[in-house]
Amino acid sequence: MTMQTTDYLDISTKPTGQPGGARLRIGIEAQRLFRPHKHGMDIVALELVKNLQQLDQHNEYFIFVKPDEDNTVLQETANFHIVEVAGGPYPLWEQVLLPRAARRAKVDLLHCTSNTAPLKAGAPLVITLHDIIYLEPLDLRRGSWYQRIGNLYRRWNVPKVVPQSRRILTVSAFEQARIEQRLPGSPLQVVYNGVGEQFRPITDGAALAAAQAQYGLPERFMFFLANTDPKKNLRGVLQALAQLKQQGQLACKLVMLDYKESALSAILQELNAPELRADILLCGYVPNHQLPLIYSLAEIFLYPSLRESFGIPILEAMACGTPVITSTTSSMPEVAGDAALLIDPTKPEAIAAAIRQLQNNPAERAMLAAKGLERVKHFSWRETAHQVLQVYKQVVNNERVAATRTA
């Protein structure tokens, strides 16, 4: 059962007698956790909270969410309280309603998990700054209106809240360097993302056949997580497929998730490649728990993004035993190591060559799959949660020491 913002004022702050010192009251912003269609940062927040629940039965947690349809994705426990904060568009929710809720919960620390934060948080602030792509040169003609407006808000907010933060968490050494260059002096720490335990090779024939039938998946296909964000490089993927089709070397169809027919038709017309439509299957949104089935059925996973701060899908595919093609740019070599085929994503001919190489070489696919299964062992949500918990303790302890000195 979730609490409304008026229901949690009398929760005891007394120590429980468990080891670990005085109990902390930790607030975690997870505004979009209950929305039905969750994506990257939402998944990171969900995995963090779930793993903290398993790891920490001592401290008191307040998870601030906006009410939405998928409200069973996270359950309360004795020391984890879900606080539904209703109302308003995102800027109003974050700048007014969230800090009000945090103050009423009397949190010792507020962790904002998705790049932005209140200008007046009402508590020591920790931010997960996944990336600063929106601080780089913007082309406001690209991407959806929702993405453009979101980027403008981040561009306004992030330079203001970073100097107020006690700790900035980011997800790769690459992004750390970018942040240090753009926002020097930030109190930065790298905490890698992980991969969910549900991502593993699926060998249940009945489950695989059911997924194939449910989504109409072809016998041989490449898997690509597309959206309208230009950095995902759908244009380059389609140009590569067009080259292969013209050469008579396109052996696998392309399965894409969460992309609208009208948007695909428009870009195919723009590229003068409408004939590719017959080689592409649009599946709509697929829940996170069903993705391992599609990864396991796919012959190749394509992730030739132009710019990423991490790239969780690389690990998801590897964990399912799917060979990966990804980019030589930004964080992707850091995440993939030597367990993927790395290409220049700005060159469609390089993407095409990598697809040709893997679709015609089962032995190389098997080799990359084996390397990928080893690579993912280096990434764990449990370790992510452990490192973040240490940050919480350090920040609150530093605040208490500073308060003692000034008393």
What percent of the chain is predicted at pLDDT more than 90? 82
| Total number of domains constituting the chain | 2
Q: Give pLDDT tens digits for 80-110.
A: 999 999 988 999 999 999 999 999 999 999 9
What's the length of the chain? Answer: 407
Average pLDDT estimate for 322-336: 98
**Order of strands, edge to edge, in the sheet holding 25-29?**
3-4, 80-84, 60-65, 25-29, 109-112, 125-128, 167-170, 188-190
Of 166-180, 253-267, 343-357, minimum mean pLDDT range: 253-267
16: in domain: yes
Pairing type for strands 109-112 and 25-29 reads parallel
pLDDT at 402: 85
- Give the residue-averaged pLDDT of 262-276: 94
pLDDT above 70: percentage of residues in the chain: 92
Is residue 200 one of the residues assigned to a domain? no
Residue 199 maps to a domain: no
pLDDT of residue 405: 82
Distance CA 123, CA 328 (A): 40
Grade residue 204 by pLDDT with cuts at 50, 70 and 90. Answer: very high
Least confident interval from 13-17, 78-82, 284-288, 319-323:
13-17
pLDDT digits (tens, 9 = 90+) for 1-34: 455 443 433 333 333 334 456 899 999 999 999 9
Residues 357 and 212 in one domain: yes
**What mean pLDDT value characterizes the chain?**
91
- Work out the average pLDDT over 54-65: 97
pLDDT in the model for residue 225: 92
Q: Which residue has the higher pLDDT, 13 or 331?
A: 331
Residue 28 forms part of a structural domain? yes
Q: Tell whether 370 is covered by a domain.
A: yes
Structure tokens at 381: 């949500």
Q: In terms of residue numbers, what domain contains 318? A: 205-378
Residue 295 amino acid letter: Y
Q: What CATH number is given to the structural domain containing 127?
A: 3.40.50.2000
What are the phi and psi torsion angles at 167 (to 5°)?
A: -150, 140
Same domain assignment for residues 251 and 139: no
Per-residue pLDDT tens for 375-388? 999 999 999 999 99
What pLDDT score does 1 carry? 42
Residue 59 lies in a domain: yes
Contact 324, 372 (CB under 8 A): yes
Local confidence band at 362 (pLDDT 50, 70, 90 cut-offs)? very high
Model confidence band, residue 132 (pLDDT cutoffs 50, 70, 90): very high
71 within a domain of the structure (yes/no): yes
pLDDT tens digits, one per residue of 165-184:
999 999 999 999 999 999 99
Rounded-to-integer distance, Cα 42 and Cα 354, Å: 31
3-state secondary structure the chain: CCEECCCCCCCCCCCCCCCCCCCCEEEEECCCCCCCCCCHHHHHHHHHHHHHHHHCCCCEEEEEECCCCCCCCCCCECCEEEEECCCCCHHHHHHHHHHHHHHHCCCCEEEECCCCCCCCCCCCEEEECCCCHHHCCCCCCCCCHHHHHHHHHHHHHHHHHHHHCCEEEECCHHHHHHHHHHCCCCCEEECCCCCCCCCCCCCCHHHHHHHHHHHCCCCCEEEECCCCCHHHCHHHHHHHHHHHHHCCCCCCEEEECCCCHHHHHHHHHHCCCHHHHHHEEECCCCCHHHHHHHHHHCCEEEECCCCCCCCHHHHHHHHCCCCEEEECCCCHHHHHCCCCEEECCCCHHHHHHHHHHHHCCHHHHHHHHHHHHHHHHHCCHHHHHHHHHHHHHHHHHHHHHHHHHHC
CA–CA separation, 264 and 226 (whole Å):
10
The contacts of residue 357 (CB under 8 Å, 6+ apart) are 341, 364
Q: Are residues 174 and 112 in the same domain?
A: yes
Q: Identify whether residues 212 and 259 lie together within a single domain.
A: yes
Residues 116 and 222 in one domain: no
- Give the model's pLDDT for residue 17: 36
For residues 391 and 351, state if they share a domain.
no
Residue 402 forms part of a structural domain = yes
Pair 265, 373 in one domain: yes
Q: In the prediction, which pLDDT does 7 show?
A: 41
Q: Say whether pLDDT at 285 is over 90.
A: no
- Give the closest residue to 150 by CA, choosing from 47, 285, 40: 40
Assess whether 53 and 154 both reside in one domain.
yes
**Same-domain pairing of 65 and 211:** no
